[in-house]
Amino acid sequence: MAGDGILESTIVTKVAREEYDDHRYRGYSLFHELLGSETIASLLGLAISGRRLGPDETKMLDDLAVAVCVADPHIWLLKPTRIVAALGNTLPALAVGAVCMEDATLGPWTSVAAARLFVELSAIVERRRLDVAAVDAALDRIASNQSNKRVLPGFGVPLRETDERVVALRARVRSNGREHCPYWKLFERTATLLENERGLRPNIASAFAAVGLDLGFDPKQIGSLGASVALLGCFLPNAVEEAELQSATLRKIPRRFVRYRGQPPRVSPRHQGA
Amino acid sequence: METSKPTSSRRSYAEGFECVETLDSWVVDDSGPPRIHGYDVESDLAPNYGFVDLLLLSLTGELPDDGASRAVEIVMSFLAPVSSSDGPAHVAVLASLCAAPYQRVVEAGAIGLAEAIGCDIDDVAEVLRWLDDPTTPFPERHRVASADEGASVQRLHACLQAQGTDVPVFAQNPSRLAACVGVLHHAGLIRPIQIATVFIVAQLPAVAAEAAAVRPLGFRDYPLWVPKFRYAEEGKSSGR
């Protein structure tokens, strides 16, 4: 019967349901429980994890979202958004930004690997002391899921001495009274160890991951969280602006800035024989 | 924090919406050996027809004659070159540079392509209207604009004539883009979505290939300052 077929294909969702006078969202009444009390950041948290954050957690999430708003259009990961937006539309430009982020070795998604590292490291240091060998053991456990297997996710700062976002976030973690949360403490201990032993300083991926884990997100959710706040704070302003500007030099790089490095001119066998 | 429980009186406003219980598929029947518009792909089409024949069958509903198929194939060759200086390939190059996995690189390039192609097809909307009614005047701004472009259009025309195909649009001294669209229209591709699909199939390989040539994380090989952006602050306005 047709009705039985529909039941077989029913998917259980915990996201939402529309109703006549109100809507259900992640188990809550949209208009009577969420409206008036949620911020964009806390709504993101609820959307991704299904868990409603308390006021202190929401404040930390707000700070996390702002701390990563480095939106300079020169940044390699932001430029695809700029290029697509130069064709006139905002949302495809955002879509290309989202697509470029997932599973990339650069950018917000690196916090997923950093979070996995901390989860493994946390389990390891329950049984032994935290040292470089423990960090390497944690890296071995997550390496099969990584494209670049020997890069320590969340550590190493290119082009400058320290990651200024980590400095800023650290201050906010203290200001929010969250410096004693377990993953943040592990992050700080690991950061000190790696700087002393390997000259590696933490980048924003590890700091973001630690805060995210302490807020109760799992590693993959941290990736969605990082991507979402990056889309809002970094990609969106670039998409909006460039959809207005529609710069010709983004649609087509001028000839004088292009260097062809492929095969030299040649003739195909069929053309030779013609 | 306790959640409120839905009462039995609450109902979804879509629950009473009457609609069918099956999703229609108009082109591909995969209930058995796959068929496209009724033709068995594996026993009939694959051994007897080329890929462009399948492309035209999929998009128009009927198998093309040899002339139309070859004409579209020639146009697709003319459309194929997309360099890293073009937006769509540049997007894919950057995705590859940031060490995104191959699926994301292709996705990024495809989004860029669809946007760029959409702009091109929107730009020649007047040409499409003329193609639907050639008794009207051909839009002037879609004629050849340079000697190089004119030479390219002549080469396209010559390729088609060598195959025994002539297409009326060439009599209008059309731009390269208008000429390509004119040939596709003559082959039965008259809707923007059909034309855009042919463009994407023609151009995606070069986009992917440019990206594949990039060394992931090789940032020194990429011109960060092309183009340069200059940050200018507006006067701050705030509710705080």
Residue A146, pLDDT score = 56
Question: In chain A, what residues touch B116 (CB-CB under 8 Å)?
Answer: 87, 251
Residue A65, pLDDT score = 95
Residue B16, pLDDT score = 80
Residue B2, pLDDT score = 47
- Other C-beta atoms lying within 10 Å of the C-beta of residue B9: 7
Question: In chain B, what residues touch A254 (CB-CB under 8 Å)?
Answer: 85
Residues 5-24 of A with CB under 8 A from B: 5-6, 17-22, 24
Residue A149, pLDDT score = 58
Assess contact for B10 and B4: CB atoms under 8 A: no
Question: What whole-number distance in Å separates Cα of residue A201 and Cα of residue B13?
Answer: 54
Question: What whole-number distance in Å separates Cα of residue B213 and Cα of residue B26?
Answer: 38
Nearest neighbour of A258 by CB, restricted to B10, B85, B213: B85
Residue B239, pLDDT score = 66
Confidence of residue B103 (pLDDT cuts 50, 70, 90): very high
Residue B1, pLDDT score = 44
Question: In chain B, what residues touch A75 (CB-CB under 8 Å)?
Answer: none
Return the residue of B nearest to A31 by Cα: B4
Residue A35, chain B, CB below 8 Å: the answer is no
Question: What whole-number distance in Å separates Cα of residue A45 and Cα of residue B143?
Answer: 55
Question: What whole-number distance in Å separates Cα of residue B183 and Cα of residue B132?
Answer: 13
- Rounded to a whole number of angstroms, the distance between the first and last alpha carbons of chain A is 65
The answer, yes or no, to whether the previous bond of B174 is cis (omega within 30 of 0) is no
| pLDDT score of A93 more than 50 | yes
Question: In chain A, what residues touch B94 (CB-CB under 8 Å)?
Answer: 76-77, 79-80, 83, 100
Residue B240, pLDDT score = 67
Sign of the Cα torsion B11, B14, B19, B23 reads negative
Torsion region of B173: left, alpha or beta (phi above 0 gives left; psi -120 to 50 gives alpha): left
> pLDDT tens digits, residue range A24-72?
999 999 999 999 999 999 999 999 999 999 999 999 999 999 999 999 9
Return the residue of B nearest to A5 by Cα: B21
CB spacing of A80 vs B216 below 8 angstroms: no
Residue A2, pLDDT score = 45
CB spacing of A17 vs B111 below 8 angstroms: no
> pLDDT tens digits, residue range B115-147?
999 999 999 999 999 999 999 999 999 999 999
CB spacing of B97 vs A88 below 8 angstroms: no
Residue B3, pLDDT score = 47
Residue A251, pLDDT score = 96
> pLDDT tens digits, residue range B6-63?
454 557 878 888 999 899 999 999 999 999 999 999 999 999 999 999 999 999 999 9
User: b/e per residue, A99-117, with b = 16+ CB within 10 A?
Assistant: bbbbbbbbbbbbbbbbbbb
Residue B147, pLDDT score = 97
The nearest CA of chain B is from the CA of A190 a distance in Å of: 25
CB spacing of A19 vs B13 below 8 angstroms: yes
- DSSP tag of A23: E
Nearest to B88 by CA among A51, A114, A92: A92
SS3 content of chain A, % helix, strand, coil (to 5): 60, 5, 40
Residue A1, pLDDT score = 43
Question: In chain B, what residues touch A92 (CB-CB under 8 Å)?
Answer: 111, 114-115
| pLDDT score of A105 more than 80 | yes
The nearest CA of chain B is from the CA of A126 a distance in Å of: 32
Question: What whole-number distance in Å separates Cα of residue A32 and Cα of residue A23?
Answer: 9
> pLDDT tens digits, residue range B157-214?
999 999 999 899 999 999 999 999 999 999 999 999 999 999 999 999 999 999 999 9
Residue B234, pLDDT score = 80
> pLDDT tens digits, residue range A231-248?
999 999 999 999 999 999
Mean pLDDT confidence for A95-106: 92
Nearest neighbour of B98 by CB, restricted to A104, A252, A262: A104
Torsion region of A142: left, alpha or beta (phi above 0 gives left; psi -120 to 50 gives alpha): alpha
Residue A6, pLDDT score = 57
Residue A60, chain B, CB below 8 Å: the answer is no
Question: What whole-number distance in Å separates Cα of residue A63 and Cα of residue A66?
Answer: 5
Q: Which amino acid is at A140?
A: D
The nearest CA of chain B is from the CA of A214 a distance in Å of: 19
Q: Which helix (H) or strand (E) holds A28?
A: strand A28-29
Question: What whole-number distance in Å separates Cα of residue A232 and Cα of residue A238?
Answer: 10
Question: In chain B, what residues touch A74 (CB-CB under 8 Å)?
Answer: 224-225, 228-229
Residue A74, chain B, CB below 8 Å: the answer is yes
Residue A273, pLDDT score = 81
ipTM attached to this prediction = 0.90
User: Helices marked H in chain B — which ranges?
Assistant: 46-48, 51-60, 66-79, 87-97, 102-123, 125-132, 147-162, 176-186, 192-212
Confidence of residue B70 (pLDDT cuts 50, 70, 90): very high
Residue A274, chain B, CB below 8 Å: the answer is no
CB spacing of A99 vs B12 below 8 angstroms: no
- Greater model confidence, A188 or B9: A188
Average per-residue pLDDT in chain A? 93
Question: In chain A, what residues touch B95 (CB-CB under 8 Å)?
Answer: 80, 99-100, 104
Average per-residue pLDDT in chain B? 93
Residue A241, chain B, CB below 8 Å: the answer is no
Return the residue of A nearest to B1 by Cα: A52
Nearest neighbour of A52 by CB, restricted to B1, B99, B227: B1
Question: In chain B, what residues touch A86 (CB-CB under 8 Å)?
Answer: 87
CB spacing of A5 vs B100 below 8 angstroms: no
> pLDDT tens digits, residue range A109-135?
999 999 999 999 999 999 999 999 999
pTM assigned to the model:
0.91
